[in-house]
C-alpha cells in the first residue's frame, strides 16, 4: 500500500471517530426466569429456653385407698409395735366382716414391721389368708399364757412371716382344722413350762386334720420346750427345720423335744431336720417322740397308718446329769400297736439313737437305708426294730433283720 492510500484510510477513520457520540441507554430487557432453589444450610445454634409457665390448676381428688382392693385388707405399722399390733387385730376383724366364702376369699396383707399383740390371739377366719412381707420383715409377737399367738382355720393359709411367743408357757400357731403353713418361722423364748412352737390337733366331731407345713422353721427355747406337737390327724411336713433347746432351772420331766407325735396321729415327715438339745441338764432331749399322751386314751392310729419319716435328719444331744437322756427317736405303745417307718434318713442320739418301750401293745420301728448313730434300746416284750440296708455312725453296714429276735440284727 502506497502512502497516499494510507493517508486516505486514516482520514476516513478520523472522520468516523469524530462523528460517533454516546447514545441514550436503551430500555431494560424482560426479567429472566427464577433460578433453582439452592441447598439447605446447616441448622443454627439452639436458642435459650423460654420462661416456665404458671402452674396449672390441681386435678380432681382420686379414689381413697380402700377402693383399690376388693378382697385385700392391708395392715400397716403404727407409730410403735403396740399400735402396729392394734392395727393387725383391727385388720383381722375387718377381714372377717367381709363375709368371705370359698368363691370370694379374702387376704390380709401385712406390711413390714413388728406387730405386738400382747395377750391377744389372732383368730383366723375361714377363707381368709394371712400374708406377711417375708419371714425377716413381718413379725407377730404374742405373750399369752392361755391361747396361741395365731389360731388357724380350715381352708386358710398363713405365709411369709414370723410368729414369736414370749411367755412362761405359750404356743406360736395352733390349728384344729386343715390349713397350710408356708414359709413361716415360729419361735418360743424363755419358757418355764410346757410350750410348743406349733400344735396340730383335731377339733371334736371334725374330719382328720390334714394340714400342710412347707418350708417352716421352728425354734423352741426353754424348760420343756417342744418344737411341734401333733396330737391327731394326718398332717404333712416338708422341707422343715425344727429345733428345741432346754434352759436352766428345768426340773426332770418331759424335757425338750423336736417333734411329739401323740395318740392316733400319723404324720408324714419328709426332707426335714429335727434337733433337740438338753442344754443344760437335767432335762432330757428327744428328737422325735411317738407315744400316747400321758393320762389320755390310746385310740388306734388314724386309718391304721404309721408315722412315716423320709429323707430326714433327727438328732438329740445333751450333757449328762439327772434324767439327761438324749434319744434320737423314742417310741412307745399303749394298748394298741404303733408303727413308725424311717426311710433314707439319719438318726443320732448321745444316749440312744432309737429307744422303743413296751407299753402294752406292740411298738414296731422299721428302718430302711437309714444311719443309726448311737446305741439302741429295746424294751422287753413287744418292742421290735426291723432293719433293712442300714448302717452305723461309721457307715458300716448293719445286719438286716428284726431285733431283738434276730441275732445280730440291726447291730443289736
Q: Using CA of residue 16, residue 18, residue 24, residue 29, what is the dihedral sign? A: positive
In this structure, how many other beta carbons lie within 10 angstroms of the beta carbon of residue 62? 8
For the chain, which residues score pLDDT lower than 50?
Answer: 321-323
Residue pair 102/73 in contact by the 8 Å Cβ criterion: no
Query: What is the predicted pLDDT for the residue at 321?
Result: 46
Dist. CA 257–CA 287, nearest whole Å = 5
Tell me how far CA of residue 75 lies from CA of 78, 85, 132, 275, 278, in angstroms: 9, 10, 9, 35, 39
Q: Specify the pairing of strand 401-403 against strand 383-388.
A: antiparallel
Backbone dihedral angles phi then psi of residue 318, each to the nearest 5 degrees: -160, -170
Residue pair 148/174 in contact by the 8 Å Cβ criterion: yes
Which residues partner with 185 through β-bridges?
162, 217
In this structure, how many other beta carbons lie within 10 angstroms of the beta carbon of residue 24? 4
Tell me how far CA of residue 121 lies from CA of 93, 97, 135, 145, in angstroms: 12, 17, 19, 11
Residue pair 390/365 in contact by the 8 Å Cβ criterion: no
Q: Strands, E, within 83-137: which ranges?
A: 106-110, 113-118, 122-123, 128-131
Backbone dihedral angles phi then psi of residue 343, each to the nearest 5 degrees: -125, 135
Which residues partner with 221 through β-bridges?
245
> Of 409, 378, 412, 371, nearest to 393 (Cα)?
371
- CB contact set of 231 (below 8 Å; sequence gap of 6+): 199, 200, 201, 202, 262, 263, 265, 293
Dist. CA 194–CA 283, nearest whole Å = 12
Query: What is the predicted pLDDT for the residue at 146?
Result: 92
Greatest Cα pair distance, the chain, in angstroms, is 176
SS3 213: strand
Query: What is the predicted pLDDT for the residue at 278?
Result: 82
SS3 244: strand
Q: Using CA of residue 38, residue 42, residue 45, residue 46, what is the dihedral sign? A: positive
Output the DSSP codes for 8-54.
Answer: HHHHHHHHHHHT-PPPPPPPPPPPPPPPPPPPPPPP-PPPPPPPPPP
Query: What is the predicted pLDDT for the residue at 341?
Result: 96
Q: In what order do the strands lie in the sheet with 352-357?
A: 122-123, 150-151, 171-175, 195-200, 225-230, 256-262, 285-291, 326-332, 352-357, 376-378
Dist. CA 163–CA 165, nearest whole Å = 7
Q: What are the pLDDT digits (tens) for 212-222?
A: 999 999 999 98
Secondary structure string (H, E, C) spanning 304-372:
HCCEEEECCEEEEEECCCCCCCEEEEEEECECECEEEEEECCEEEECCEEEEEECCCCCEEEEEECCEE
Query: What is the predicted pLDDT for the residue at 67?
Result: 61
Q: What are the pLDDT digits (tens) for 309-337?
A: 999 999 998 755 444 578 999 988 877 77
Query: What is the predicted pLDDT for the residue at 92?
Result: 96
Query: What is the predicted pLDDT for the residue at 322?
Result: 42
Q: How far is CA 23 from the centre of its chain?
A: 113
Dist. CA 242–CA 220, nearest whole Å = 8
Residue holding cell 429456653? 49
Dist. CA 211–CA 180, nearest whole Å = 6
Amino acid at each position: 500500500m502506497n502512502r497516499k492510500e494510507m493517508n486516505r484510510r486514516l482520514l476516513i477513520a478520523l472522520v468516523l471517530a469524530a462523528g460517533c457520540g454516546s447514545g441514550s441507554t436503551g430500555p431494560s430487557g424482560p426479567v429472566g426466569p427464577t433460578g433453582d432453589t439452592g441447598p439447605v444450610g446447616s441448622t443454627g445454634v439452639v436458642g435459650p429456653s423460654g420462661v416456665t409457665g404458671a402452674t396449672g390448676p390441681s386435678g380432681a381428688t382420686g379414689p381413697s385407698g380402700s377402693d383399690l382392693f376388693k378382697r385385700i385388707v392391708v395392715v400397716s405399722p403404727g407409730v410403735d409395735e403396740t399400735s402396729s399390733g392394734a392395727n393387725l387385730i383391727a385388720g383381722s376383724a375387718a377381714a372377717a366382716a367381709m363375709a368371705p366364702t370359698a368363691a370370694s376369699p379374702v387376704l390380709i396383707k401385712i406390711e413390714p414391721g413388728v406387730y405386738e399383740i400382747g395377750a391377744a390371739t389372732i383368730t383366723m377366719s375361714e377363707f381368709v389368708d394371712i400374708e406377711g412381707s417375708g419371714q425377716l420383715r413381718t413379725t407377730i409377737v404374742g405373750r399369752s399364757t392361755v391361747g396361741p399367738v395365731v389360731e388357724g382355720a380350715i381352708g386358710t393359709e398363713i405365709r411369709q412371716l414370723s410368729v414369736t411367743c414370749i411367755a412362761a408357757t405359750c404356743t406360736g400357731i395352733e390349728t384344729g382344722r386343715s390349713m397350710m403353713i408356708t414359709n413361716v418361722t415360729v419361735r418360743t423364748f424363755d419358757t418355764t413350762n410346757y410350750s410348743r412352737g406349733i400344735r396340730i390337733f383335731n377339733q371334736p366331731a371334725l374330719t382328720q386334720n390334714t394340714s400342710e407345713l412347707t418350708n417352716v422353721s421352728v425354734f423352741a427355747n426353754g424348760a420343756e420346750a417342744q418344737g411341734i406337737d401333733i396330737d391327731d390327724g394326718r398332717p404333712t411336713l416338708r422341707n422343715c427345720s425344727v429345733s428345741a433347746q432346754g434352759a436352766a432351772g428345768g426340773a426332770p420331766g418331759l424335757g425338750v423335744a423336736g417333734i411329739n407325735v401323740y395318740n392316733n396321729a400319723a404324720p408324714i415327715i419328709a426332707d426335714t431336720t429335727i434337733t433337740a438339745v438338753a442344754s443344760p441338764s437335767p432335762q432330757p432331749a428327744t428328737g422325735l417322740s411317738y407315744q400316747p399322751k400321758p393320762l389320755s386314751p390310746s385310740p388306734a392310729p388314724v386309718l391304721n397308718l404309721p408315722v412315716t419319716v423320709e429323707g430326714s435328719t433327727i438328732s438329740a444331744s445333751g450333757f449328762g446329769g439327772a434324767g439327761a437322756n438324749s434319744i434320737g427317736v423314742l417310741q412307745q405303745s399303749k394298748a394298741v400297736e404303733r408303727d413308725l417307718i424311717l426311710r433314707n434318713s439319719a438318726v443320732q442320739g448321745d444316749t440312744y439313737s432309737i429307744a422303743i418301750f413296751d407299753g402294752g401293745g406292740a411298738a414296731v420301728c422299721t428302718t430302711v437305708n437309714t444311719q443309726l448313730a448311737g446305741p439302741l434300746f429295746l424294751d422287753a416284750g413287744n418292742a421290735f426294730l426291723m432293719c433293712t440296708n442300714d448302717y452305723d455312725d461309721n457307715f458300716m453296714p448293719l445286719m438286716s433283720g428284726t431285733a431283738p429276735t434276730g441275732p445280730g440284727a440291726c447291730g443289736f
